[in-house]
Amino acid sequence: MLEKLRALEQKFEDLVREMSNPEVLSDPHTYNKLAKAHSDLGEIVGKYREYRKVLADLDDAEVMSDEPQDADFAAMLSDEITRLTHEKERLHDELQLLLLPKDPNDEKNVIVEIRAGTGGDEAALFAGSLFRMYSRYAEEQRWKVDVLSSNATELGGFKEVIFVIEGKGAYSRLKFESGVHRVQRIPTTEAGGRIHTSTATVAVLPEAEEVELHIEPNDLKIDVYRSSGPGGQSVNTTDSAVRVTHLPTGLVVACQDEKSQLKNKEKALKILRARLYDQLQEEAEQAQAATRRSQVGTGERSERIRTYNFPQGRVTDHRINLTLYKLDLVVDGDLDEIIDALITADQVERLKETVDVHHD
């Protein structure tokens, strides 16, 4: 670990020298690229220097403790050695986490797709509750939410709702939300007061930029048609709805939320690009001989990941056996405790894999 940290510190210092080069200073593109690399290394290099100082102070204190001392000074040295030892362990653990490979998608915006599963109208209402939960969480993070496509029901739920969340680090916080979410509650439509179990699926995809994934126009079949709302009622009288089919893969995306055909096309292409990017990533992972399967789940759409039990006021994440008795707060967007626990579990699993690789 120390050898890798020393190499990173050297790279950090080389970047500082490069950035002060007059030719680089006169080239904004090159300078910005170097400045980002410098910024990315800043945290880990700063932590490494802090760690190195603690090691040096600990060595000095241990050398002094071997020399004859009066009782008071010896006690003070003992306390200092204990403090520095704890500090060394803390910094060592933090550096191990910082050295873990970063997910290249972590800083991206996300496209979230929520679909009602089993449970009829109650499943659609639950899909609406999940949409509100993520929207409220995004609002707390000061992220922007924009609905790309929706299929609302007359009771106020959604058969399907697709939306983009724009904000720094959105994917890093929400990537473990993919899977089947289950709700247990007494539906407002149930007069007998029986508890029903319904499901909704959530897919979280990193938003793909055009520069990352170019789609050939000839690979697209674009159809336009008249929008319709819940119950078949007409939304408008022009052919503004758009259906985009990606011919090589057969992926189909339809958008009708906007009155503008152009805007619907733009939103459909945004969804299509994210789905294609996700598909390419999945294929790349499957091509690797040892694809990681962390304890926080495979991320597969069919995996049941969480249960929201309203009669008992609890939410349980089955991947990490976490149960919280604050369901009302969670469905109102208070997701940090669950998300932080999932991220920690993922880091622990990846650290284990790092140790296993070194042992092999």
Q: How far is residue 305's CA from residue 296's CA, in Å, rounded to a whole number? A: 9
Nearest to 107 by CA among 45, 147, 164, 166: 166
Nearest to 160 by CA among 173, 168, 151: 151
Pair (137, 48) in one structural domain: no
Pair (334, 233) in one structural domain: yes
* 289-337: pLDDT as tens digits: 443 444 455 445 567 899 999 999 999 999 999 999 999 999 999 999 9
Among 99, 129, 144, the domain-final residue is 99
The number of angstroms, rounded, from the C-alpha of 1 to the middle of its chain's C-alpha atoms is 27
For residue 338, being part of any structural domain is answered with yes
Pair (43, 150) in one structural domain: no
Pair (95, 120) in one structural domain: no
Q: Which amino acid is at 185?
A: R
Pair (208, 66) in one structural domain: no
Pair (67, 121) in one structural domain: no
H helical segments located in the chain: 2-19, 22-25, 28-65, 71-99, 120-140, 170-174, 261-287, 327-330, 336-359
Q: Residue length, the chain?
A: 360
* 94-139: pLDDT as tens digits: 888 788 778 788 888 999 999 999 888 899 999 999 999 999 999 9
Pair (58, 202) in one structural domain: no
* Domain with 245 in it: 110-287+297-347
For residue 16, being part of any structural domain is answered with yes
Beta carbons within 8 Å of 322's beta carbon, 6+ residues apart:
316, 338, 341
Pair (342, 212) in one structural domain: yes
For residue 105, being part of any structural domain is answered with no
Among 43, 72, 99, the domain-final residue is 99
For residue 51, being part of any structural domain is answered with yes
CA distances from 229 to 202, 250, 258, 266, 273 (A): 23, 26, 12, 20, 26
* 68-99: pLDDT as tens digits: 778 888 888 889 999 999 999 999 888 887 88
Evaluate whether 209 touches 105 at the Cβ level (below 8 Å): no
Largest CA distance in the chain: 94
Q: For the chain, what is the domain count?
A: 2
Q: How far is residue 100's CA from residue 106's CA, in Å, rounded to a whole number? A: 13
Pair (178, 222) in one structural domain: yes
Pair (122, 247) in one structural domain: yes
Evaluate whether 190 touches 216 at the Cβ level (below 8 Å): no
Q: Is the pLDDT of residue 213 over 70?
A: yes
Q: How far is residue 100's CA from residue 346's CA, in Å, rounded to a whole number? A: 11
For residue 357, being part of any structural domain is answered with no
Pair (157, 215) in one structural domain: yes
Q: What pLDDT does 208 receive?
A: 83
Q: What pLDDT does 292 receive?
A: 42
